Structure 1
Amino acid sequence: MATFRASSSMSSSSISSSSCHRRKIIRATINMPKFQNSTVSLPNLITGDLVEQLKLTSSGYTNTTTTHIQKLPKSPSNSPNTSPKYDSMVSDPLAIAKLYAIMEAVEDRVEMHKNIGEQRSNWNSLLLPSINAITLTASTMAGIAATSASGSDPLAALKLSSTLLYLAATGMLLIMNKIQPSQLAEEQRNAARLFKQLREEIHTTISIGNPSNKEVRDTMEKVLALDKAYPLPLLGVMLDKFPEKIEPARWWPQQRRRQAKGLGERNDRNGWDAKLEGEMREIVGVLKRKDKADYLRLGEKALKLNKVLAISGPLLTGLAAVGSAFVGSPSHGSWAVVLGVVAGALSSIVNTLEHGGQIGMVFELYRSNAGFFKLMEESIESNLKEREVERRENGELFEMKVALQLGRSLSELKDLVASSTMKGEAMEEFASKLF
């Protein structure tokens, strides 16, 4: 009984003593699992301390935890305990720095193409009304000169002014039809969009991690290919606006052999099987027969129309200048008046159809759409030609990308393949549902 009282007294004393303290330090011990058959020691992995401080305040408890953890040291390449998988997971900081530098350059190009595209779009919207105003003014002067008295001073002034205005309109039209401002603006819009897409690809590569020097080289080639496809300056490197042969636009480098980048380990074929390969071959066939061929055909028609309008406009203003120069001459009769007035009016109509209708932009749109389908063909064929499936892009991921690019769901993509393989019926459906 005495022993119990003594113990109780000591416990009460301990409780009262602890309540007098304002701060109490709690020490914790972390038990790490034991590693069997491993030469790695715990101090080599984590060195540091874990300190928890519990502060008692008038309003309650505040926990402050400080943790010091040393990063894992990079294992030397010649260490016997280093596995190849561990080495593949180590990111190359130099490759990441290079990708960031390329992404900054790409961002700058996006702004450059956007600003220049707006400027060249303004060329089209400003030059067309100006040229039409000059042409109609010259036509009006030629008509007024025809009603004036023969040999008078007002007649000579009107004739000279009309002729000069027609000549100025002819020169401006020649330059405008050569550079095709609406087509230039469409080129810059396409370039800005493609550079934005490339920027997102770089960002995705960095986010996924483990970029290699090969990816850096491939990205550089994509940037240079875009620079070549959509040049910024006009003199010397401007794309031919009236090519002899219609070719799809090309803004990507040559497809090269890929690195082994299998995603997941569901099977040994990286998501590919014989059925998927057959479906991809059928899709390539549809793209060639329908989508790309149709846009090339439409692009050829737009190019022919643009050529006719580009020649007709300056030709009509030139004839109108000749006619206005002979207005009022007794030896030439009324044909000079008709030529000076009617040719100027027709020229305004032709210019409005060509540049107001933006036929050059329509041609570039068809050409770039054909290039989009050409890129899809090469991408699919490069995967199918690669015999080592681990070097291909993952089959499931690639199928989803193809479906999204064509504006279809996976089931609709399979329906397209099924309809293209049906015999006895003409397959009228296009592969793309986007455009």
Structure 2
Amino acid sequence: MHDIIGRQRDNWNHLLLHSTNSLALAASAMAALAPVAPPTVAALKASAGALLATAAVTMAAVNRIQPSQLAEEQRNATRLWRQLERDVSYRAAAGAVVTDADVQEAMDRVLALDAAYPLPLLPGMLEKFPKTVEPARWWPRRRPQPQPLKSRRSKSFGRRAGSSSNGWTPELEEEMRGLLRVLRAKDEHQYLTVGRLVLTLNRGLAVAGPALAGAGAVAAAFIGSGDAGGWASGAAVLCGALAAAANTVEHGGQLGMLFELLRNCAGFYRKVQEDIEAALGEADPERRENGEVFETKVALLLGRSAADLRQFREMASPSFRDEDIKDYAGKLF
């Protein structure tokens, strides 16, 4: 369903873009011809005003729902649902014992994913112009795990001995803390900052397009009315052309899709952060995922090798300032 609806909404974007531009440009042509064709000035004036008013209403509706962003939401939902299906299928085919906790985890992922990318258009659609830009979230919030009393002892004993425990060493923990700091200060911050700029531009064009088309419709009503007829025709032509240009930049450039893409990239890095925080938050290393496996998994998610992550150890020090961080943790996006 997400795949089908994503294709449908992508078709909406192309259809509505070309239809609205055709309305605005046809109205501009009629407004330009009206002063030089006195016998048909009334018909051309009425037609230009009606087309510009229709274009203004259509633009306002399309800008409200952002079809390109809707299509991107469904593309991401399709990918994540398929990923969830592969995870569940692999676990079932592996022959491992499936516990109640495994079933609950899968159900939590289903519900979180369903809430993150709703199918209905109205009601339930995600807010297209949020006041604050936050990373997309499609994974469930972690439940706090009960800590056994011996956790602190085993951790401190391992540190005094200087040996690894379940693949975890003090050096690996420092590496993960430094990586966590870089992810938060550079990667996630970068995508949220650019996302705010795209959102501001998109919001401005969403207001400018219908406003210009509406102003053109008002100007078209004065075509042929004495001394005001000349400037009214030029104003209607100019407003219609500018409205089509704003609509093309907004929906032809798919700014809604770009904003959603940036939110999802920031969400990707937020998820990596939460995975690292969950691993470091477990006091007993024996209850964590194997340290070497975890390091390799994080490196692959970031498009790096495990050896590349060692450069982030020094950034875990409080004396190292965020302003001094030059490199980004991720290389995929």
Q: How does 1:61-100 map to 2 (within 5 A)?
A: none
* In 2: Cα distance, 1:333 partner to 1:163 partner: 14
CA distance in 2, matches of 1:189, 1:281: 33
Q: CA deviation at 1:125?
A: 1.0
- Asked whether the 8 Å contact 1:140–1:341 carries over to 2, the reply is yes
Structure 1 partner of 2:324: 426
In structure 2, C-alpha distance between the alignment counterparts of 1:319 and 1:186, rounded to whole Å: 32
CA distance in 2, matches of 1:177, 1:395: 48
**Does structure 1 residue 224 correspond to structure 2 residue 111?**
yes
The aligned residue for residue 42 of structure 2 is: 156
- 2:254 maps to 358
Name the counterpart of 1:178.
Answer: 64
The one-letter code of the counterpart of 1:300 is R
For residue 206 of structure 1, report the CA deviation from its aligned partner: 2.0
Q: Could you tell me which residue of structure 2 aligns to residue 337 of structure 1?
A: 233
1:184-215 Cα distance to aligned partner (Å, 9 max, x none): 11111111111111112112322331111111
Structure 2 CA distance for aligned equivalents of residues 310 and 176 of structure 1: 9
Q: Which has the higher contact order (CA 8 A, sep 6+)?
A: 2
Distance 2:127 2:320 in 1: 42
Structure with the greater alpha carbon radius of gyration? 1
The alpha-carbon distance between structure 1 residues 134 and 345, as it changes in their structure 2 partners (threshold 3 A), is: same
Partners of 2:143 and 2:167 lie apart in 1 by: 21
Aligned residue number for residue 267 of structure 2: 371
Which of 101, 122, 135 is the aligned partner of 1:248? 135
Q: Tell me how far apart the structure 1 counterparts of residues 229 and 85 of structure 2 sit (CA, whole Å).
A: 66
The corresponding residue for 2:53 is 167
5+ unaligned residues in a row in structure 2: which ranges? 148-162
Q: Counterparts of 1:385 and 1:318 in 2: how far apart (Å)?
A: 57
- Secondary structure of residue in 2 paired with 1:248: coil
Equivalent in the alignment of 1:11: none
CA contact (8 A) 1:319 1:343 kept: yes
For residues 284-320 of structure 1, the C-alpha deviation after alignment (integer angstroms, 9 at most, x for no partner) is 0000000001110000000000000000000010011
Alpha-carbon offset, residue 423 of structure 1: 5.6
SS of equivalent to 2:128? coil
- In 2 relative to 1, CA 226–423 (structure 1 residues): closer, same or farther, beyond 3 Å? closer
- Note the C-alpha offset of 1:420: 7.2
**Given residue 297 of structure 1, which amino acid in structure 2 is its aligned partner?**
T
CA distance in 2 between partners of 1:231 and 1:410 (Å)? 37
Mapped to 2, the partners of 1:369 and 1:415 lie a distance apart of 23
Partner of 1:309: 205
Distance in 2 between residues matched to 1:241 and 1:428, nearest whole Å: 32
SS at the partner of 1:334? Answer: helix
Q: 1:384 aligns with which of 268, 276, 280?
A: 280
> Matched residues in 1 for 2:308 and 2:315: separation?
10
Does residue 393 in structure 1 map to residue 296 in structure 2?
Answer: no
2:25 to 136, 148, 153: 136
Q: Separation in 2 of the partners of 1:322 and 1:333?
A: 12
For residues 32 and 146 of structure 2, the distance between their equivalents in structure 1, rounded to whole angstroms, comes to 73
Distance in structure 2 (CA, Å) of the matches to 1:136 and 1:291: 42
Give the deviation of 1:325 after TM superposition: 1.3
For 1:213 and 1:205, the matched residues in 2 are separated by 14
- Residue 416 (structure 1) shift: 4.0
- Give me the whole-angstrom Cα distance separating, in 2, the residues matched to 1:215 and 1:329: 75
Q: How far does residue 412 in structure 1 lie from its aligned partner after superposition?
A: 1.3
State the alpha-carbon separation in 1 of the partners of residues 139 and 73 from structure 2.
15
Local SS of the residue matching 1:408: coil
TM-score by length of 2: 0.90
Aligned to 2:155: none
Structure showing the higher strand proportion among its residues: 1
1-structure distance, mates of 2:324, 2:52: 54
How many residues align? The count is 315
CA RMSD, 1 decimal: 2.0
- Partners of 1:144 and 1:385 lie apart in 2 by 72
C-alpha distance in 1 between matches for 2:326 and 2:125: 37
Using the size of structure 1 for normalisation, the TM-score is 0.69
Q: Identity of aligned pairs, percent?
A: 49
Q: Is the 8 A contact 1:420 1:427 kept in 2?
A: no
**Counterpart for residue 11 of structure 2:** 122
Aligned to 1:212: 99
Judged with a 3 Å threshold, the aligned counterparts in structure 2 of structure 1 residues 258 and 394 are, in CA distance, closer, same or farther, namely farther
Q: Is the 8 A contact 2:282 2:288 kept in 1?
A: yes
Matched residue, 1:296 = 192
Q: What is the letter of the counterpart of residue 364 of structure 1?
A: E
Unaligned runs of 5+ in 1: 1-111, 261-266
- Give the match for residue 160 of structure 2: none
The amino acid that maps onto 1:426 is D
**Contact persistence 2:174–2:316 (CA under 8 A):** no
SS at 2:228 equivalent? coil
Separation in 2, partners of 1:271, 1:411 = 15
